[in-house]
């Protein structure tokens, strides 16, 4: 699964996810893309499950671009741990996804196959998504 090789700090503040996605909101590499309509933190396992769904549906004929990377550590304290005693250990890695962000792009397959693959991938993610085409087509 995806995760950073090295980070400067082990734990990070949660932060806020307000606003729309400014960068990464257009289809640049492939012919079709999967665009986020809501905001959430998408885990590395969800990204991998969606990637496998696209790969299996296209029978590994499509070129796939993953446009998000899980670089945010999500911490969790052990069940039954008392209050205090610091921040918990890293449970998994996540990527902050805002509305308008292109999550996946695929190319090299016809529209009907791409549509089916991206709809399947969208069901694996924790955000609502829609299918978009490259502008100018």
What topology is assigned to 36-73+92-133 in CATH? Aldehyde Oxidoreductase; domain 3 (3.90.1170)
Contact 112, 65 (CB under 8 A): no
> Residue 2 has which token pair?
């995806």
105-124 pLDDT, tens digit each: 999 999 999 999 999 999 99
The residue ranges of DSSP E strands in 1-137, in sequence order, are 32-36, 40-43, 63-66, 72-76, 89-97, 102-107, 129-133
Delimit the domains of the chain by residue range. Answer: 36-73+92-133
Per-residue model confidence as pLDDT tens digits over 70-92: 999 999 999 989 888 889 999 99
Quote the tokens at residue 113: 């196959």
Residue 128 has pLDDT above 80, yes or no: yes
Whole-model pTM: value is 0.93
Q: How far is 38 from 27, CA to CA, in rounded Å?
A: 18
The b/e string for 54-89 (b: 16+ C-beta within 10 A; e otherwise) is: bbebbeeebebeebbebebbbeeeeeeeeeeeeeee
Does residue 26 carry a pLDDT above 90?
Answer: yes
């Amino acid at each position: 699964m995806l995760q950073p090789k090295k980070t400067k700090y082990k734990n990070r503040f949660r932060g806020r996810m307000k606003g729309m996605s400014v960068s990464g909101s257009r289809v640049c590499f492939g012919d079709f893309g999967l665009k986020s309509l809501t905001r959430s933190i998408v885990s590395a396992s969800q990204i991998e499950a969606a990637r496998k769904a696209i790969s299996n549906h296209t029978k590994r004929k499509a070129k796939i671009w993953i446009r998000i990377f899980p670089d945010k550590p999500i911490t969790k304290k052990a069940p039954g741990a008392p209050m205090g005693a610091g921040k918990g250990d890293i449970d998994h890695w996540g990527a902050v996804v805002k509305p308008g962000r292109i999550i996946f792009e695929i190319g090299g397959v016809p529209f009907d196959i791409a549509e089916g693959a991206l709809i399947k991938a969208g069901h694996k993610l924790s955000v609502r998504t829609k299918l978009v085409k490259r502008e100018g087509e």
